[in-house]
Amino acid sequence: MTGIGGQGIQLVARLLAQAAIAEGRQVMTFGVFQGMIRGGTSESTVVVADAEIVTPPIPPRAWGVLAMHGAGLPALARKAERGGVLVVNSSLVTAPPAWDGVRLLNVPATALAEELGEPMGASMVALGAFAAATGLVAGDSLAAALDVVVPAHRRAHVERDRRCLARGAAHVGAH
């Protein structure tokens, strides 16, 4: 998952990880972000496995990429795995890369969140679309994971986030 600070990359990575854990999977996450509050690059790798992960893996390949902003995409191009999927926030990534053998899914996450009256929910829209496109976790698992992952000071936004997740999944279903 890649984007810029303030887009919720670290939050949606934790949400995906928690949903996978709830489904009985093994998970490791690795967040990397610059030391500024907003605007710097933000990336998170989520490794989901059916068997025990015994050491922190260094994934040489990625079959699924969620990009909220285009800044981090050039560095991920070499890791993109044939047969994988690239979900981009086409509201901001207007010229997505064409990676050989990788399915591109344009999701206007920012615009869809704004249509819901929830402009801060773009990353949740994108995550809902990613989950629907990949089948990595069930939408219900993501929605339930919000109760575990969202910090207390943001609990008022949980229902908004559920609507955004559902909107992203619905977008994939319609395309």
Question: What's the CATH code of the domain at 146?
Answer: 3.40.920.10
Q: What is the DSSP string of 4-33?
A: ETTS-HHHHHHHHHHHHHHTT-EEEEEEEE
In order along its 175 residues, the chain shows pLDDT tens digits of 999 988 999 999 999 999 999 999 999 998 877 655 566 788 889 999 999 998 777 888 899 999 999 988 998 999 999 999 999 999 999 999 999 999 999 999 999 999 999 999 999 999 999 999 999 999 999 999 999 999 888 899 999 999 999 999 999 988 7
pTM given for the model: 0.92
Distance CA 138, CA 131 (A): 7
- Tally of domains within the chain: 1
Cβ neighbours around 27 below 10 Å, total: 17
Q: Which domain holds residue 95?
A: 2-174
Distance CA 47, CA 122 (A): 23
